[in-house]
Structure 1
């Protein structure tokens, strides 16, 4: 019979406090997410406030769209330079390129006399939103076309219900029978009526909308192919050999279809110009622009790293509120004490976050100075442990700092993870970075003759002759990462 026994077991272990876990999450955030979080804290915590002239918590510079934002500062030429418009007028008087257009001058004078008001506002109040482009959503675009159709009320209700059931790609993912209880009609809509409404929807623009599969979406766009022979062959490929088309297996396609490879390749090229997601050209998410966290500049002493002022928030404690709380603190004001402590903790987290980012970026720049002097060909192998040992933090901290953080360099803006890579040994025993080898592969392909491109095995052989023994599959991986076509495709493109 087994006996139950209790024994104490002492083991050392680490446990992150909630405060430390929160600091780790803040360190891992991107600059845009971190700025959004700080804006929420500014709105909810009365002890936090912006410093004057702060743009750090608005990396995209959208503060001018805020109705409560202060008036715009003086124009750049107010510090001593001339107004560009007046400078252009003086240049014309002195024999410059010519007078401005009379209509343009009248419009500028009207603008200045009107106090800077834009068109369409009778009250004279400037509205920055009037100058913004309006994105048309897919369902709004389709509803506008339905408005022009002469339909009965029953048909229109079914058609609009299907429009509202489309996803962002323009596909109808749900079965038609699931829409029967959704459509409020008496008697209820039949499945055949919904099929007729769906076919009517598929006749609208953009072509391919309302499809239930990728193949159906492409088939709906086949009338756009002008050549009847090419259209017939493309239709057969989509209906019968769609997996082979996705795999770019031209030999198998030509063999299965019994058609010349050149005609099959031409039909496949035409299919690839179709739109498999017709809804993407309407609405969608706004483009998220990359704002670098740090900037690298060359100085007399070498390369220097500094934080980008656009992403560094300038926050401070509201001393007036903090002083009032200290003079009237008590049990009734305990929640305010928590908020004051949270505000101070937030400032410490902000300082620690950007100090760590600056330290890690500085270590990367010091170790990859060859990249900043000569480009990607001079990139060295670099591991997280090397940077962690220099900055005296854990490897996981370096990993969090480098993800979704960007650095602006003379060669462009890169994510900090771009500068890390494992070492590949050359024939001389010296380590080489994978980034440098990738650049060498791109150079070899760029230098090849268009009519006789190199295969991946031949590129690997050339690199081996230069002292870099690289496997053929490694060359293939790097070529695909750079979105360079295979040798057969490059040869056919050169022949065309």
Structure 2
């Protein structure tokens, strides 16, 4: 069989993602913080790119005013000479002291003990294993298994190290469970106070060791029968337990609040809600005029031309990102006018396809433009994705959103009686009276999503708080 060579002409279409398009897509899905990091990295790598406010110079009037102010400072009595230093001559001092961590607090106490070096090493290891609440989440068997065999650490040594750690301040540190944490604090109370009755302490220890689950139900009658004690002792023991700290390391918590800078600001202009880009999140970039002028006068190195092209492309991608985010945000605001007027109860059902068809964009583009993008509204800062939700039909043939249903559930739970909280079935019936017909399991799903406990736990919590 012989093979032959031939030439053929074929036409076909192929979508090619240019580097500029890839950069625009990547910038669109970045959050404002991630975009700022990308811009900062580009400013370090590309000398032709700069911020607009970075090289702004003072006007002549401003310079003259500053010079006159400097002369006035030198001419003021007490501001010149060796002994006339001003506030700028004072040594700088830190505004706030460094925060002490729980580990630092425990290690300082360890240094004050007379423990041997081997015991100090084991206690230091346990201190490093503590979680943010002061508990020891790792079992001693797992800690022992991670130690090298050549150290020949016995289980008794590790238990002794844990007992010494549990004697440190704060009381309850190093506990392996809530019950053990409460018992350690009860031991501290017994040693520090002589006013507590032995029966009350014994009852409180029994509850902490064996009956915390029963206490959480709020059924004090069953708890009294299980402990075989009278009502007065049980109430006193319960009062003692309420004084204890379930999280010993609460005072050393180093977690800080996460602040979100909204990408879009929504304000009412006349009778219409209008979205606009937050200037604080928009990087103000430009090409260095000196370098650009030099490159335009004559031939330049290919590397400089490439950097100039990259700088123009980055500025265009950043601008295009904010244009797309603003278009999507305004379309969402136009669809959700009821939310801005009445809050979550006015949220209407909305899906990505609705915005994509209105703006003639792909659904993936709308998804990127709403992911990790936040809007400042009269009801707080909300992610743009939070305006989307499935539709639920009402008796009147209209549709409502899942967010509006969650808002109705929150209102019903807030108005309920603590002694007789509403069950999921009762909430479903109340919603049906308002025209929203949903199943009991749907109510349970929305209740859990809103962080609302079941009715039995709400009743137990109300019973414990009332005693």
Cα distance change, pair 337–269 in 1 and its aligned pair in 2 (3 A): farther
- Return the offset for 1:418: 1.7
Match of 2:435 among 462, 467, 487: 467
1:153 paired residue number: 117
1:164-179 aligned within 5 A: 164-166=128-130, 170=134, 171=136, 173=138, 175-178=142-145
TM-score by length of 2: 0.74
Match of 1:382, SS state, is coil
Cα distance change, pair 267–125 in 1 and its aligned pair in 2 (3 A): same
1:124 paired residue number: 90
1:47 paired residue number: 48
1:487 paired residue number: 455
Alpha-carbon distance in structure 2 between the residues aligned to 1:272 and 1:12: 74
1:340-351 aligned within 5 A: 340-351=308-319
User: What residue ranges of structure 2 are gaps of 5+ in the alignment?
Assistant: 1-7, 63-83, 190-195
1:315 paired residue number: 285
Aligned partners of 1:460 and 1:469 also within 8 Å: yes
Alpha-carbon distance in structure 2 between the residues aligned to 1:387 and 1:198: 59
1:204-353 aligned within 5 A: 204-211=168-175, 220-221=184-185, 223=187, 227-228=200-201, 229-237=203-211, 258=226, 270=241, 274-275=245-246, 281-282=251-252, 284-327=254-297, 329-330=299-300, 333-353=301-321
Match of 1:131, SS state, is coil
Alpha-carbon distance in structure 2 between the residues aligned to 1:359 and 1:269: 59
Alpha-carbon distance in structure 2 between the residues aligned to 1:269 and 1:424: 48
- Return the offset for 1:179: 5.6
User: What residue ranges of structure 1 are gaps of 5+ in the alignment?
Assistant: 1-7, 55-69, 75-112, 118-122
- Return the offset for 1:380: 1.0
- Return the offset for 1:201: 1.9
2:3 paired residue number: none
Cα distance change, pair 22–269 in 1 and its aligned pair in 2 (3 A): farther
Alpha-carbon distance in structure 1 between the residues aligned to 2:181 and 2:394: 50
Alpha-carbon distance in structure 2 between the residues aligned to 1:311 and 1:172: 41
Alpha-carbon distance in structure 1 between the residues aligned to 2:239 and 2:11: 68
Cα distance change, pair 394–275 in 1 and its aligned pair in 2 (3 A): farther
1:455 matched to 2:423? The reply is yes
Match of 1:414, SS state, is strand
1:328-477 aligned within 5 A: 329-330=299-300, 333-477=301-445
Poorly superposed stretches of 4+, deviation over 6 Å: 8-13, 248-251, 266-269
Count the aligned residue pairs: 411
1:90 paired residue number: none
Alpha-carbon distance in structure 1 between the residues aligned to 2:409 and 2:149: 56
Aligned partners of 1:222 and 1:235 also within 8 Å: no
Match of 2:368, SS state, is helix
Give CA-to-partner distance per residue, 1:114-168, whole Å, 9 cap, x none. 7446xxxxx52556xx224522233222212212223333433333344345455
- Return the offset for 1:465: 1.9
1:57 paired residue number: none
The CA RMSD measured in Å over matched residues stands at: 4.0
Alpha-carbon distance in structure 2 between the residues aligned to 1:279 and 1:328: 67
- Return the offset for 1:421: 0.9
Cα distance change, pair 157–328 in 1 and its aligned pair in 2 (3 A): farther
Give CA-to-partner distance per residue, 1:286-318, whole Å, 9 cap, x none. 432011111111122521211111111111111
2:69 paired residue number: none
1:192 paired residue number: 156
- Return the offset for 1:467: 1.6
1:26 paired residue number: 27
Give CA-to-partner distance per residue, 1:211-231, whole Å, 9 cap, x none. 556775566555478742133
